[in-house]
Chain A
Amino acid sequence: MKDGGVESSALVDRAGKHCAAMRGTIYSLTRVLEPPAGFEAQAPYFLALVELEDGQLITTQLTDVDADAEIGDQVEMVTRKLTTDGQRGMIVYGYKFRPVLK
Protein backbone atom coordinates (compact mmCIF):
# COMPACT_ATOMS: atom_id res chain seq x y z
CA MET A 1 0.00 0.00 0.00
CA LYS A 2 1.24 3.45 -0.86
CA ASP A 3 0.90 6.48 1.35
CA GLY A 4 -2.72 7.50 1.54
CA GLY A 5 -3.68 5.01 -1.13
CA VAL A 6 -5.36 1.63 -1.24
CA GLU A 7 -3.84 -1.40 -2.87
CA SER A 8 -5.56 -1.75 -6.21
CA SER A 9 -6.32 -5.46 -5.85
CA ALA A 10 -8.61 -4.67 -2.94
CA LEU A 11 -10.66 -2.44 -5.21
CA VAL A 12 -10.94 -4.56 -8.32
CA ASP A 13 -11.55 -7.97 -6.81
CA ARG A 14 -14.55 -8.63 -9.04
CA ALA A 15 -12.84 -8.09 -12.34
CA GLY A 16 -12.00 -11.30 -14.05
CA LYS A 17 -12.13 -13.47 -11.01
CA HIS A 18 -14.55 -15.92 -12.59
CA CYS A 19 -12.41 -16.61 -15.61
CA ALA A 20 -9.65 -18.56 -13.89
CA ALA A 21 -10.93 -21.87 -15.22
CA MET A 22 -12.74 -22.71 -18.45
CA ARG A 23 -14.08 -26.09 -17.40
CA GLY A 24 -16.15 -27.37 -14.55
CA THR A 25 -18.98 -29.64 -13.43
CA ILE A 26 -22.66 -28.89 -13.00
CA TYR A 27 -23.34 -28.14 -9.33
CA SER A 28 -27.04 -27.58 -9.95
CA LEU A 29 -29.35 -26.79 -12.84
CA THR A 30 -32.90 -25.73 -13.58
CA ARG A 31 -34.99 -25.48 -16.72
CA VAL A 32 -36.41 -21.96 -16.88
CA LEU A 33 -39.94 -21.93 -18.29
CA GLU A 34 -40.87 -18.42 -17.14
CA PRO A 35 -38.11 -16.14 -18.49
CA PRO A 36 -37.53 -12.47 -17.77
CA ALA A 37 -37.88 -9.89 -20.56
CA GLY A 38 -35.07 -10.25 -23.08
CA PHE A 39 -34.94 -14.04 -22.78
CA GLU A 40 -38.39 -15.05 -24.08
CA ALA A 41 -37.10 -16.31 -27.40
CA GLN A 42 -34.65 -18.67 -25.72
CA ALA A 43 -37.09 -20.21 -23.22
CA PRO A 44 -37.12 -22.86 -22.08
CA TYR A 45 -33.42 -22.83 -21.30
CA PHE A 46 -31.16 -24.34 -18.69
CA LEU A 47 -29.66 -22.13 -16.03
CA ALA A 48 -26.91 -23.73 -13.97
CA LEU A 49 -24.45 -23.21 -11.19
CA VAL A 50 -21.19 -24.63 -12.52
CA GLU A 51 -18.33 -25.46 -10.18
CA LEU A 52 -15.19 -24.45 -12.04
CA GLU A 53 -11.98 -26.43 -11.73
CA ASP A 54 -10.63 -23.80 -9.34
CA GLY A 55 -13.63 -24.31 -7.05
CA GLN A 56 -15.48 -21.08 -7.89
CA LEU A 57 -19.19 -21.38 -8.63
CA ILE A 58 -20.52 -19.48 -11.64
CA THR A 59 -24.11 -18.74 -12.69
CA THR A 60 -24.52 -19.53 -16.36
CA GLN A 61 -26.80 -20.81 -19.05
CA LEU A 62 -26.12 -24.22 -20.53
CA THR A 63 -26.06 -24.46 -24.29
CA ASP A 64 -25.99 -27.37 -26.74
CA VAL A 65 -27.52 -29.62 -24.08
CA ASP A 66 -30.22 -32.27 -24.13
CA ALA A 67 -32.95 -32.59 -21.56
CA ASP A 68 -30.89 -35.19 -19.73
CA ALA A 69 -28.17 -32.85 -18.41
CA GLU A 70 -27.46 -33.73 -14.81
CA ILE A 71 -25.64 -32.60 -11.71
CA GLY A 72 -22.02 -33.73 -12.02
CA ASP A 73 -21.83 -33.46 -15.81
CA GLN A 74 -18.60 -31.96 -17.17
CA VAL A 75 -19.03 -28.68 -19.05
CA GLU A 76 -16.80 -26.14 -20.76
CA MET A 77 -17.07 -22.41 -21.42
CA VAL A 78 -18.02 -21.05 -24.84
CA THR A 79 -18.86 -17.55 -26.09
CA ARG A 80 -22.50 -17.03 -27.02
CA LYS A 81 -25.07 -14.30 -27.51
CA LEU A 82 -26.88 -13.74 -24.20
CA THR A 83 -29.58 -11.27 -25.14
CA THR A 84 -30.29 -8.12 -27.11
CA ASP A 85 -30.67 -4.82 -25.31
CA GLY A 86 -34.15 -3.98 -26.62
CA GLN A 87 -35.38 -4.34 -30.21
CA ARG A 88 -32.67 -2.21 -31.78
CA GLY A 89 -30.09 -2.26 -29.01
CA MET A 90 -26.71 -3.85 -28.64
CA ILE A 91 -26.26 -7.58 -28.75
CA VAL A 92 -24.89 -8.75 -25.41
CA TYR A 93 -22.30 -11.51 -25.70
CA GLY A 94 -21.03 -13.55 -22.80
CA TYR A 95 -20.21 -17.03 -21.63
CA LYS A 96 -22.37 -20.12 -21.62
CA PHE A 97 -21.31 -23.66 -20.82
CA ARG A 98 -21.79 -26.75 -22.97
CA PRO A 99 -21.07 -30.42 -22.37
CA VAL A 100 -17.39 -31.26 -22.82
CA LEU A 101 -17.00 -32.56 -26.36
CA LYS A 102 -15.89 -36.16 -26.40
Chain B
Amino acid sequence: MRVSIVGAGMIPVREHWSTGLGDLAAEAGELALRDADLKQVDALYIGNAYGAAFNQQAQLGSLIAGQLGLPGVESFTCEAGDASGGAALRAGYMAVASGAVGSAMVIGVEKATDIVGPARLAARNVSLDADYESVNGATLAAMAGLLMRRYMHEYDVELSQFEGFSVNAHRNGARNSCAMFRNKLRSGAFVKAPMIADPVNLFDSAPDGDGAAAVILVNAELAADLVPRPVAISGSALASDSLMIQDRIQPLKLPAVTLSTAASLKQAGLGLSDLDALELHDAFTILTALSLEAMGYSDAGRGWEWAQGGGERIATAGELPLSSFGGLKSRGNPAGATGVYQAVEAALQLTGRAGENQIPGARHILIQNMGGLGATVATHILSATGE
Protein backbone atom coordinates (compact mmCIF):
# COMPACT_ATOMS: atom_id res chain seq x y z
CA MET B 1 0.00 0.00 0.00
CA ARG B 2 1.20 3.50 -0.74
CA VAL B 3 1.54 5.76 2.28
CA SER B 4 0.78 9.45 2.69
CA ILE B 5 1.30 12.11 5.32
CA VAL B 6 -2.00 13.80 6.18
CA GLY B 7 -1.01 15.79 9.23
CA ALA B 8 2.10 17.46 10.58
CA GLY B 9 3.00 19.49 13.64
CA MET B 10 6.08 20.75 15.46
CA ILE B 11 6.90 22.92 18.43
CA PRO B 12 9.79 25.40 18.52
CA VAL B 13 13.18 23.87 19.36
CA ARG B 14 14.20 25.58 22.59
CA GLU B 15 15.31 24.97 26.14
CA HIS B 16 11.87 23.88 27.37
CA TRP B 17 12.75 23.76 31.05
CA SER B 18 9.19 24.10 32.28
CA THR B 19 7.70 21.38 30.07
CA GLY B 20 8.09 17.62 30.58
CA LEU B 21 9.19 15.12 27.96
CA GLY B 22 5.71 13.65 27.58
CA ASP B 23 4.10 17.11 27.38
CA LEU B 24 6.42 18.17 24.57
CA ALA B 25 5.50 15.05 22.62
CA ALA B 26 1.79 15.47 23.28
CA GLU B 27 1.86 19.09 22.06
CA ALA B 28 3.34 18.05 18.73
CA GLY B 29 0.99 15.10 18.47
CA GLU B 30 -2.07 17.29 19.05
CA LEU B 31 -0.90 19.74 16.40
CA ALA B 32 -0.58 16.90 13.89
CA LEU B 33 -4.01 15.46 14.78
CA ARG B 34 -5.57 18.90 14.35
CA ASP B 35 -3.79 19.35 11.03
CA ALA B 36 -5.22 16.04 9.79
CA ASP B 37 -8.59 16.71 11.47
CA LEU B 38 -8.35 13.30 13.18
CA LYS B 39 -8.97 12.28 16.78
CA GLN B 40 -7.52 8.79 16.76
CA VAL B 41 -4.80 6.69 15.16
CA ASP B 42 -4.20 2.93 15.17
CA ALA B 43 -0.57 3.10 16.25
CA LEU B 44 1.98 5.51 17.68
CA TYR B 45 5.71 5.22 17.01
CA ILE B 46 8.06 7.35 19.08
CA GLY B 47 11.50 8.46 17.94
CA ASN B 48 13.64 9.16 21.00
CA ALA B 49 17.30 8.56 21.61
CA TYR B 50 18.20 9.70 25.08
CA GLY B 51 15.09 9.62 27.26
CA ALA B 52 16.71 7.08 29.56
CA ALA B 53 20.08 8.88 29.61
CA PHE B 54 18.82 12.49 29.83
CA ASN B 55 15.52 12.16 31.66
CA GLN B 56 15.56 8.74 33.40
CA GLN B 57 12.49 7.95 31.34
CA ALA B 58 11.82 4.95 29.13
CA GLN B 59 8.53 3.38 27.94
CA LEU B 60 7.68 6.59 26.12
CA GLY B 61 5.14 4.70 24.04
CA SER B 62 2.89 4.24 27.02
CA LEU B 63 3.71 7.65 28.53
CA ILE B 64 2.86 9.63 25.41
CA ALA B 65 -0.18 7.56 24.40
CA GLY B 66 -1.56 8.35 27.85
CA GLN B 67 -0.91 12.06 27.53
CA LEU B 68 -2.50 12.14 24.09
CA GLY B 69 -5.58 10.30 25.36
CA LEU B 70 -5.15 7.27 23.12
CA PRO B 71 -5.89 4.42 25.56
CA GLY B 72 -4.83 0.97 24.44
CA VAL B 73 -3.12 2.14 21.26
CA GLU B 74 -0.10 0.22 19.91
CA SER B 75 2.82 2.41 20.93
CA PHE B 76 6.57 2.00 21.40
CA THR B 77 9.90 3.73 20.98
CA CYS B 78 12.31 3.36 18.07
CA GLU B 79 15.92 4.08 19.01
CA ALA B 80 18.81 4.57 16.60
CA GLY B 81 20.82 7.39 18.18
CA ASP B 82 20.18 10.70 16.45
CA ALA B 83 18.47 8.71 13.65
CA SER B 84 15.70 7.65 16.04
CA GLY B 85 13.19 10.02 14.41
CA GLY B 86 13.96 8.66 10.96
CA ALA B 87 13.76 5.12 12.30
CA ALA B 88 10.33 5.82 13.83
CA LEU B 89 9.19 7.25 10.50
CA ARG B 90 10.43 4.08 8.82
CA ALA B 91 8.51 1.97 11.38
CA GLY B 92 5.35 3.99 10.78
CA TYR B 93 5.80 3.70 7.04
CA MET B 94 6.24 -0.08 7.20
CA ALA B 95 3.24 -0.52 9.49
CA VAL B 96 0.91 1.39 7.19
CA ALA B 97 2.43 0.12 3.93
CA SER B 98 1.99 -3.49 5.04
CA GLY B 99 -1.60 -2.96 6.03
CA ALA B 100 -0.84 -3.99 9.59
CA VAL B 101 -2.37 -0.70 10.75
CA GLY B 102 -4.61 1.76 8.95
CA SER B 103 -3.10 4.90 10.42
CA ALA B 104 -0.02 5.73 12.44
CA MET B 105 1.32 8.75 14.23
CA VAL B 106 5.08 9.20 14.37
CA ILE B 107 6.36 11.52 17.09
CA GLY B 108 9.97 12.47 17.53
CA VAL B 109 10.76 13.92 20.94
CA GLU B 110 13.86 14.82 22.92
CA LYS B 111 14.45 16.80 26.09
CA ALA B 112 18.17 17.38 26.03
CA THR B 113 18.76 20.48 28.11
CA ASP B 114 17.84 19.11 31.52
CA ILE B 115 21.51 18.30 31.88
CA VAL B 116 24.38 20.37 30.58
CA GLY B 117 28.10 20.28 29.85
CA PRO B 118 30.17 17.14 30.44
CA ALA B 119 27.18 15.23 31.89
CA ARG B 120 25.18 15.71 28.68
CA LEU B 121 28.14 14.77 26.52
CA ALA B 122 28.64 11.59 28.53
CA ALA B 123 24.93 10.75 28.22
CA ARG B 124 25.03 11.37 24.47
CA ASN B 125 27.98 8.98 24.25
CA VAL B 126 25.58 6.04 24.45
CA SER B 127 25.45 6.55 20.66
CA LEU B 128 29.14 5.66 20.38
CA ASP B 129 30.87 2.37 21.20
CA ALA B 130 31.17 2.19 24.98
CA ASP B 131 34.17 -0.15 25.07
CA TYR B 132 36.36 1.29 22.33
CA GLU B 133 35.31 4.94 21.87
CA SER B 134 33.59 6.43 24.92
CA VAL B 135 36.03 4.82 27.35
CA ASN B 136 38.82 6.80 25.67
CA GLY B 137 37.13 10.17 26.13
CA ALA B 138 35.54 10.37 22.69
CA THR B 139 32.46 12.50 21.97
CA LEU B 140 30.34 12.78 18.84
CA ALA B 141 32.03 16.11 18.09
CA ALA B 142 35.48 14.57 18.58
CA MET B 143 34.66 11.75 16.17
CA ALA B 144 33.42 14.34 13.66
CA GLY B 145 36.64 16.26 14.26
CA LEU B 146 38.65 13.15 13.38
CA LEU B 147 36.77 12.74 10.11
CA MET B 148 37.03 16.43 9.25
CA ARG B 149 40.74 16.67 10.01
CA ARG B 150 41.48 13.63 7.85
CA TYR B 151 39.29 14.99 5.05
CA MET B 152 41.04 18.36 5.08
CA HIS B 153 44.39 16.57 5.05
CA GLU B 154 43.57 14.18 2.22
CA TYR B 155 41.86 16.67 -0.05
CA ASP B 156 43.76 19.83 0.93
CA VAL B 157 40.64 21.70 2.06
CA GLU B 158 40.59 24.68 4.47
CA LEU B 159 38.16 25.14 7.35
CA SER B 160 36.79 28.31 5.73
CA GLN B 161 35.59 26.26 2.78
CA PHE B 162 32.89 24.66 4.93
CA GLU B 163 31.51 28.02 6.04
CA GLY B 164 28.75 28.24 3.43
CA PHE B 165 26.93 25.23 4.89
CA SER B 166 26.48 27.02 8.23
CA VAL B 167 25.80 30.43 6.64
CA ASN B 168 23.02 28.91 4.54
CA ALA B 169 21.52 27.04 7.51
CA HIS B 170 21.34 30.21 9.61
CA ARG B 171 20.02 32.31 6.72
CA ASN B 172 17.10 29.88 6.44
CA GLY B 173 16.69 29.34 10.16
CA ALA B 174 16.41 33.09 10.73
CA ARG B 175 13.05 32.91 8.90
CA ASN B 176 11.79 29.87 10.85
CA SER B 177 9.94 30.66 14.07
CA CYS B 178 10.60 27.11 15.30
CA ALA B 179 14.37 27.44 14.91
CA MET B 180 16.52 27.49 18.03
CA PHE B 181 19.18 29.93 16.81
CA ARG B 182 17.73 32.52 14.44
CA ASN B 183 20.84 34.67 14.20
CA LYS B 184 22.48 35.11 10.82
CA LEU B 185 26.09 34.02 10.52
CA ARG B 186 28.39 36.76 9.28
CA SER B 187 30.95 35.72 6.69
CA GLY B 188 34.30 35.30 8.43
CA ALA B 189 32.83 34.51 11.86
CA PHE B 190 32.80 30.77 11.17
CA VAL B 191 36.56 30.21 11.27
CA LYS B 192 36.93 32.29 14.45
CA ALA B 193 34.36 30.41 16.53
CA PRO B 194 35.51 28.69 19.74
CA MET B 195 36.88 25.19 19.14
CA ILE B 196 35.07 22.12 20.46
CA ALA B 197 37.25 19.38 18.96
CA ASP B 198 39.36 20.92 16.23
CA PRO B 199 38.63 21.51 13.44
CA VAL B 200 35.02 21.22 14.67
CA ASN B 201 34.00 24.49 16.28
CA LEU B 202 30.86 26.06 17.73
CA PHE B 203 29.61 27.39 14.36
CA ASP B 204 30.32 24.08 12.69
CA SER B 205 28.27 21.88 15.01
CA ALA B 206 24.53 21.81 15.63
CA PRO B 207 23.18 22.74 19.07
CA ASP B 208 21.29 20.19 21.17
CA GLY B 209 17.76 21.36 21.88
CA ASP B 210 14.44 20.26 23.32
CA GLY B 211 11.72 19.62 20.79
CA ALA B 212 8.96 17.45 19.43
CA ALA B 213 7.52 16.97 15.96
CA ALA B 214 4.81 14.67 14.65
CA VAL B 215 3.37 13.38 11.40
CA ILE B 216 0.32 11.23 10.73
CA LEU B 217 0.51 8.49 8.11
CA VAL B 218 -2.38 6.74 6.40
CA ASN B 219 -2.67 4.66 3.25
CA ALA B 220 -2.84 6.77 0.13
CA GLU B 221 -6.44 5.87 -0.78
CA LEU B 222 -7.72 7.02 2.57
CA ALA B 223 -5.50 10.12 2.46
CA ALA B 224 -7.25 11.57 -0.56
CA ASP B 225 -10.53 11.67 1.39
CA LEU B 226 -8.98 13.29 4.45
CA VAL B 227 -7.00 16.27 3.19
CA PRO B 228 -6.87 18.15 -0.11
CA ARG B 229 -3.13 17.73 -0.62
CA PRO B 230 -1.63 14.68 1.10
CA VAL B 231 2.13 14.28 0.87
CA ALA B 232 3.24 10.93 -0.52
CA ILE B 233 6.08 8.96 1.04
CA SER B 234 7.46 7.80 -2.28
CA GLY B 235 10.66 6.27 -0.91
CA SER B 236 11.62 4.87 2.49
CA ALA B 237 14.85 3.13 3.45
CA LEU B 238 17.20 2.65 6.37
CA ALA B 239 20.73 1.29 6.26
CA SER B 240 23.41 0.69 8.85
CA ASP B 241 27.21 0.72 8.93
CA SER B 242 29.81 -0.21 11.55
CA LEU B 243 29.04 1.62 14.76
CA MET B 244 32.67 2.68 14.98
CA ILE B 245 34.65 4.65 12.44
CA GLN B 246 37.68 2.50 13.30
CA ASP B 247 35.97 -0.56 11.83
CA ARG B 248 35.33 1.08 8.46
CA ILE B 249 37.60 0.27 5.55
CA GLN B 250 37.23 3.78 4.13
CA PRO B 251 36.30 6.15 6.97
CA LEU B 252 35.54 9.04 4.61
CA LYS B 253 32.82 7.05 2.85
CA LEU B 254 29.35 6.83 4.31
CA PRO B 255 27.96 3.60 2.82
CA ALA B 256 24.72 3.76 4.81
CA VAL B 257 24.05 7.11 3.09
CA THR B 258 24.78 5.57 -0.31
CA LEU B 259 22.64 2.49 0.33
CA SER B 260 19.61 4.20 1.82
CA THR B 261 19.67 6.96 -0.81
CA ALA B 262 19.82 4.48 -3.67
CA ALA B 263 17.07 2.31 -2.17
CA SER B 264 14.70 5.22 -1.60
CA LEU B 265 15.32 6.68 -5.07
CA LYS B 266 14.73 3.29 -6.68
CA GLN B 267 11.48 2.83 -4.80
CA ALA B 268 10.34 6.32 -5.81
CA GLY B 269 11.39 5.76 -9.42
CA LEU B 270 13.43 8.95 -9.27
CA GLY B 271 17.01 10.05 -9.86
CA LEU B 272 19.05 12.66 -8.02
CA SER B 273 18.19 15.23 -10.68
CA ASP B 274 14.49 14.84 -9.85
CA LEU B 275 14.97 15.97 -6.25
CA ASP B 276 14.10 19.60 -5.62
CA ALA B 277 15.65 19.90 -2.17
CA LEU B 278 17.45 17.93 0.55
CA GLU B 279 17.32 17.93 4.31
CA LEU B 280 20.62 16.33 5.30
CA HIS B 281 21.90 15.48 8.75
CA ASP B 282 24.07 18.57 9.16
CA ALA B 283 25.05 17.96 12.80
CA PHE B 284 28.57 18.88 11.62
CA THR B 285 29.46 20.45 8.26
CA ILE B 286 31.75 17.52 7.45
CA LEU B 287 28.70 15.24 7.49
CA THR B 288 27.01 17.39 4.86
CA ALA B 289 30.08 17.27 2.61
CA LEU B 290 30.51 13.51 3.06
CA SER B 291 26.77 12.87 2.57
CA LEU B 292 26.70 14.83 -0.70
CA GLU B 293 29.61 12.71 -1.89
CA ALA B 294 28.08 9.42 -0.72
CA MET B 295 24.78 10.28 -2.42
CA GLY B 296 26.49 11.02 -5.72
CA TYR B 297 26.18 14.81 -5.88
CA SER B 298 29.97 15.21 -5.80
CA ASP B 299 33.09 13.16 -6.39
CA ALA B 300 35.07 12.11 -3.32
CA GLY B 301 36.74 15.10 -1.71
CA ARG B 302 34.56 17.67 -3.46
CA GLY B 303 31.34 17.82 -1.43
CA TRP B 304 32.54 21.06 0.19
CA GLU B 305 32.29 22.78 -3.19
CA TRP B 306 28.52 23.08 -2.71
CA ALA B 307 29.20 25.49 0.16
CA GLN B 308 31.23 27.95 -1.89
CA GLY B 309 29.98 31.41 -2.86
CA GLY B 310 28.34 32.12 0.50
CA GLY B 311 26.17 29.02 0.17
CA GLU B 312 24.04 30.57 -2.59
CA ARG B 313 23.97 27.31 -4.56
CA ILE B 314 22.25 25.60 -1.62
CA ALA B 315 19.91 28.48 -0.69
CA THR B 316 16.14 28.03 -1.00
CA ALA B 317 16.31 29.73 -4.43
CA GLY B 318 19.53 27.93 -5.39
CA GLU B 319 20.44 24.95 -7.51
CA LEU B 320 20.17 22.40 -4.66
CA PRO B 321 18.38 23.82 -1.61
CA LEU B 322 19.65 22.35 1.69
CA SER B 323 18.33 22.84 5.23
CA SER B 324 15.42 25.00 4.10
CA PHE B 325 14.20 25.57 7.67
CA GLY B 326 17.68 25.93 9.10
CA GLY B 327 18.73 22.29 9.31
CA LEU B 328 20.16 20.87 12.50
CA LYS B 329 22.61 23.77 12.66
CA SER B 330 20.08 26.57 13.08
CA ARG B 331 16.73 24.90 13.78
CA GLY B 332 18.61 22.88 16.39
CA ASN B 333 19.22 19.18 16.89
CA PRO B 334 16.66 17.69 19.26
CA ALA B 335 18.41 14.34 18.70
CA GLY B 336 15.70 11.67 18.47
CA ALA B 337 13.17 14.23 17.22
CA THR B 338 15.30 15.60 14.39
CA GLY B 339 14.23 13.09 11.74
CA VAL B 340 10.57 13.92 12.32
CA TYR B 341 11.27 17.68 12.16
CA GLN B 342 12.74 17.01 8.73
CA ALA B 343 9.53 15.23 7.70
CA VAL B 344 7.33 18.06 8.99
CA GLU B 345 9.46 20.68 7.22
CA ALA B 346 9.38 18.76 3.94
CA ALA B 347 5.61 18.28 4.25
CA LEU B 348 5.17 22.04 4.71
CA GLN B 349 7.31 22.67 1.62
CA LEU B 350 5.35 20.19 -0.49
CA THR B 351 1.98 21.65 0.50
CA GLY B 352 3.07 25.23 -0.14
CA ARG B 353 2.96 26.12 3.55
CA ALA B 354 6.61 26.99 4.12
CA GLY B 355 6.08 30.77 4.17
CA GLU B 356 9.27 32.74 3.71
CA ASN B 357 11.22 29.46 3.51
CA GLN B 358 9.20 28.18 0.56
CA ILE B 359 11.17 26.46 -2.19
CA PRO B 360 9.30 27.47 -5.35
CA GLY B 361 7.62 24.52 -7.08
CA ALA B 362 9.14 21.79 -4.87
CA ARG B 363 7.72 18.36 -5.81
CA HIS B 364 10.22 15.87 -4.36
CA ILE B 365 12.30 16.36 -1.20
CA LEU B 366 14.75 13.83 0.24
CA ILE B 367 15.20 13.84 4.00
CA GLN B 368 18.08 12.04 5.66
CA ASN B 369 18.59 11.39 9.35
CA MET B 370 21.82 9.95 10.77
CA GLY B 371 22.77 8.17 13.97
CA GLY B 372 26.36 8.52 15.13
CA LEU B 373 28.81 9.31 12.35
CA GLY B 374 26.89 7.44 9.66
CA ALA B 375 26.21 4.27 11.69
CA THR B 376 22.47 4.42 11.01
CA VAL B 377 20.98 6.39 8.12
CA ALA B 378 17.24 6.71 7.48
CA THR B 379 16.34 8.24 4.12
CA HIS B 380 12.85 9.15 2.95
CA ILE B 381 11.59 10.85 -0.17
CA LEU B 382 8.45 12.91 0.23
CA SER B 383 6.50 13.96 -2.84
CA ALA B 384 3.74 16.46 -3.54
CA THR B 385 0.43 15.18 -4.85
CA GLY B 386 -2.10 17.00 -7.04
CA GLU B 387 -1.35 20.27 -8.79
Given A30-B198, A48-B146, A71-B150, do A37 and B121 touch, yes or no (CB 8 Å)? yes
**Total inter-chain residue pairs, C-beta < 8 Å:** 108
User: CB distance A36 to B149 under 8 Å?
Assistant: no
Name which residue of chain B comes closest to A52, CB basis.
B246
User: CB distance B195 to A18 under 8 Å?
Assistant: no
User: CB distance B150 to A83 under 8 Å?
Assistant: no
A residues within 8 A CB of B195?
Answer: 31, 33
CB distance from B286 to the nearest CB of A (A): 11
User: CB distance A71 to B153 under 8 Å?
Assistant: yes
User: CB distance B137 to A30 under 8 Å?
Assistant: no
**Binary interface profile of A, 51-63, with partner B (CB < 8 Å = 1, else 0)?**
0000011111100
CB distance from A52 to the nearest CB of B (A): 10
Partner of A49, one of B139, B196, B245: B245
Taking CB atoms and an 8 Å cut-off, the chain B residues in 226-271 that contact chain A are: 244-248, 251
Q: How large is the interface on B (under 10, 10 to 19, 20 to 34, 35 or more residues)?
A: 35 or more
B residues within 8 A CB of A49?
Answer: 146, 150, 245-246, 251
B residues within 8 A CB of A27?
Answer: 150, 251
CB distance from A77 to the nearest CB of B (A): 12
Partner of B135, one of A28, A29, A57, A94: A94
Q: Is B138 an interface residue (CB 8 A)?
A: yes
User: CB distance B196 to A33 under 8 Å?
Assistant: yes
User: CB distance A39 to B251 under 8 Å?
Assistant: no
Given A39-B137, A59-B132, do A30 and B245 touch, yes or no (CB 8 Å)? no
Partner of B246, one of A40, A42, A57: A57
User: CB distance B135 to A47 under 8 Å?
Assistant: no
Q: Is B47 an interface residue (CB 8 A)?
A: no
User: CB distance A59 to B244 under 8 Å?
Assistant: yes
Q: Is B355 an interface residue (CB 8 A)?
A: no
User: CB distance A36 to B121 under 8 Å?
Assistant: yes
User: CB distance A59 to B150 under 8 Å?
Assistant: no
B residues within 8 A CB of A38?
Answer: 118, 122, 137
Q: Which residues in A have some Cβ–Cβ distance to B below 8 Å? A: 18, 27-40, 42, 45, 47-49, 56-61, 71, 82-83, 92, 94, 96
Q: Which residues in B have some Cβ–Cβ distance to A below 8 Å? A: 118-119, 121-122, 124-125, 129, 132-139, 141-143, 145-147, 149-150, 153, 194-200, 244-248, 251
Which 10 pairs, one residue from A and one from B, show the smallest C-beta to C-beta distance?
A: A30-B145, A28-B150, A37-B122, A36-B122, A36-B121, A57-B246, A39-B137, A37-B118, A28-B146, A30-B197
